[in-house]
Amino acid sequence: MNNNSFFITTPIYYVNDHPHIGHAYTSIACDVLARFNRLKNNKTMFLTGTDEHGLKIEQAAKKNKMNTKEFVDQMSIGFKNLTKILNLSNDFFVRTTEEYHKKASRHIWNILKKNNQIYLDKYKGWYSVSDEAYFNDNEITIDKVTKKKIAPSGNEVEWVEEESYFFKLSEWQEKLLDFYKKNPDFIGPKSRKNEVIKFVESGLNDLSISRTTFSWGIEVPDDKKHVMYVWLDALINYLSAIGYPNKKYKDYWPANLHIVGKDILRFHAVYWPAFLLAADIEPPKRIFAHGWWTNEGKKISKSIGNVINPNEIIKEYGLDTLRFFLLKEVPFGNDGDFSKKSLETRINNDLANDLGNLVQRILTIINKNFDGKINKINNLKDNDKELYYLPEKILIEIEENYNKQEFHKVIENIWKLISKANKYVDENAPWELIKNEKNRAEDVLNILIIIIAKISILLFPIMPEVSENILNKIGLTIKNLSMNDIGKDNFLNLSFKIKKPEIIFQKIE
Ligand code: ME8
């Protein structure tokens, strides 16, 4: 792998249903990290896509009275559109029904077989179609209302008995525990890591990795009766999308980060590294499992009818506002509740009052008093330096927080800079300086423009459109900038031509 490459992935989403706010959440988080890494000039690969095989999808197509292939083609478009709606900067969109993916999956299967990791037997046990997962007896309970047998997710299970190929997962228990020990950052956040370790310590059974009672899947090599278990097929997307089995996949592999929801951590942190180690492929560097969103306190579910369509929120409040809210409202890793009231509070306070006001008042003063033109700085005074050199310190903190996927702290870091800038405005009162000390006023305003430019660069990964708009107002564009511009004296010798401000964030009454 290239030293400065950065490969980040979302889960590939099931096409049985339309995208909602939960999918948007994971994808936005990945987009932010991809954009940050690009601005650091890292060779970045951001992958998302759709998971299109398995019984759940086959059943959904039937329910919609459609041919399965036509159904997945149509539903996948919905997720592709989501990448546009969310302004995602993904470099590729993988689909598991594509031929390159099937080829990569069969290739891995053959290696596992060659490595004596697969055997044929009979599966007898519980299966949840909604989770596409197998369960042991001791994981099954009875639903109080429906009286049906359910998995820990609350989804119904059915009894399955069929011939199946098995992966020798039980052989990997000790090796996985050893791997977690040697790679302490493999699973985040820490609380989830402990859960995974406990699960593995409790013992691993061999895993059924093929099905025979339906056909919507990737055929098992040399045995047409079987299709591959959809999770084996799905996980392989992370390799097939970057060219595997062609050696060029090593340009990006091992992936730096798979971001997933807590619901699917076990597949990524237990099965995936076991499959990879068994196939002589290095596991990814890190898996981070984020929390679960509820809607105004209730579980988001189609049957309750409270699914949040990201499109509607974006139409009402704007995309960058939603991106900001999702990452600021809840520490990444915790569960969160989506409510319009808290979204509106964020818009009024953090966005309109703090950021909006700063930009608005500085641009307005410059336009009114200097006809939009600000000459280069004459003299940087001691009491300017604290603010002037703050961005580079903030960037160090930001980077540490991004490395831990602590997005809310990144936003706090940026807001510390915004609030210091607002304080500097109040203390130096440029509207007073204009009266008798015009040169000093110009220096103060130029420093503030530089700080606003740096705030915009730091904020760009999270709010790309807002940041680019602000940069454009001061005659800059992100296309010519990078995180290197946060450094010490960048922009010091620049004169600026400032356009008239427009209100960036409208307050909500
Ligand atoms: O599990 N809150 O696909 P999926 C937060 N195809 N995140 C949520 C959420 C919520 N309420 N609802 C969904 C699959 N998500 C498999 C993945 S990967 C090789 C295969 C997000 O369509 C979250 O990231 O059910 C969760 O893990 C993912 O959507 C599940 O998407």
Query: Each residue of 353-401: pLDDT tens digit?
Result: 999 999 999 999 999 999 999 999 999 999 899 999 999 999 999 999 9
Q: How close is the Cα of 331 to the center of ligand 1, in Å?
A: 18
* d(C-alpha 428, C-alpha 29), whole Å: 37
- For all residues of the chain together, what is the average pLDDT? 95
pLDDT at 2: 59
Q: Is the CB of 292 under 6 A from ligand 1?
A: yes
pLDDT of 25 strictly over 70 = yes
Q: Is the CB of 239 under 6 A from ligand 1?
A: no
- pLDDT above 90 covers a percentage of the chain that reads 92
* d(C-alpha 402, C-alpha 128), whole Å: 35
pLDDT at 96: 98
pLDDT at 1: 58
pLDDT at 194: 96
Atom 23 in ligand 1: residue holding the nearest Cα: 261
Q: How close is the Cα of 13 to the center of ligand 1, in Å?
A: 6
Which of 59-63, 296-300, 410-414, 426-430 bottoms out in mean pLDDT, i.e. has the lowest?
296-300
Residues with Cβ within 8 Å of 255's Cβ and at least 6 positions away in sequence, in order, are 7, 8, 9, 238, 284, 285
Check if the beta carbon of residue 410 is closer than 8 Å to that of residue 403. Answer: no
* d(C-alpha 386, C-alpha 408), whole Å: 24
Q: What number does the ligand 1 atom closest to the CA of 263 have?
A: 27
Q: Is the CB of 261 under 6 A from ligand 1?
A: yes
- pLDDT above 70 covers a percentage of the chain that reads 99
Atom 14 in ligand 1: residue holding the nearest Cα: 13
Q: Is the CB of 75 under 6 A from ligand 1?
A: no
Which whole number is the average pLDDT over 272-277? 98
pLDDT at 509: 82
Name the β-bridge partners of 350: none
pLDDT at 108: 98
Give residue 266's pLDDT band: very low, low, confident or very high (50, 70, 90): very high
* d(C-alpha 462, C-alpha 329), whole Å: 13
CB count within 10 Å of CB 87 equals 16
Residues with Cβ within 8 Å of 201's Cβ and at least 6 positions away in sequence, in order, are 173, 177
Q: Ligand 1: which of 57, 192, 238, 264 to mutate, most ligand atoms within 8 Å of CB?
A: 264
For residue 143, give Cα distances in angstroms to 22, 149, 301. 25, 6, 17
Q: What number does the ligand 1 atom closest to the CA of 237 have?
A: 19
The helix (run of H) or strand (run of E) holding residue 367 is helix 357-370
pLDDT at 307: 86
pLDDT at 57: 97
The three state secondary structure string of 15-56 is: CCCCCCHHHHHHHHHHHHHHHHHHHCCCEEEEEEEEECCCHH
For residue 417, give Cα distances in angstroms to 354, 386, 414. 10, 11, 5
Q: Ligand 1: which of 10, 23, 108, 288 to mutate, most ligand atoms within 8 Å of CB?
A: 23
Q: Is the CB of 26 under 6 A from ligand 1?
A: yes
Atom 27 in ligand 1: residue holding the nearest Cα: 261
Atom 15 in ligand 1: residue holding the nearest Cα: 22
Q: Ligand 1: which of 15, 51, 53, 298 to mutate, most ligand atoms within 8 Å of CB?
A: 51
Which whole number is the average pLDDT over 125-137? 93
Q: What number does the ligand 1 atom closest to the CA of 13 have?
A: 22
- 189-193's contacts with Cβ under 8 Å and 24+ in sequence apart are 189/288, 189/289, 189/332, 189/333, 189/405, 191/333, 192/262, 192/265, 192/289, 192/333
Residue showing tokens 């760009």: 460
Q: Are strands 207-208 and 158-167 parallel, antiparallel or unpaired?
A: antiparallel
pLDDT at 276: 98
Q: Is the CB of 11 under 6 A from ligand 1?
A: yes
Over residues 471-502, the pLDDT tens digits come to: 999 999 999 999 999 997 889 888 899 999 89
**Residues comprising the chain, all counted:** 509
Q: What number does the ligand 1 atom closest to the CA of 259 have?
A: 24
Q: What are phi and psi of 405, to 5 degrees?
A: 60, 35
pLDDT at 375: 93
Atom 3 in ligand 1: residue holding the nearest Cα: 13
pLDDT of 301 strictly over 80 = no
The helix (run of H) or strand (run of E) holding residue 324 is helix 319-329
Which tokens is 286 given?
Answer: 């890190």
Q: Is the CB of 235 under 6 A from ligand 1?
A: yes
Q: Is the CB of 23 under 6 A from ligand 1?
A: yes
Q: How close is the Cα of 413 to the center of ligand 1, in Å?
A: 29
Residues with Cβ within 8 Å of 182's Cβ and at least 6 positions away in sequence, in order, are none
Where do the DSSP E strands lie in 242-367? 257-261, 287-290, 293-295, 298-299, 336-338
Atom 13 in ligand 1: residue holding the nearest Cα: 22
Atom 31 in ligand 1: residue holding the nearest Cα: 13
Q: Helix axis angle, 173-182 relative to 190-201, nearest 10°? A: 160
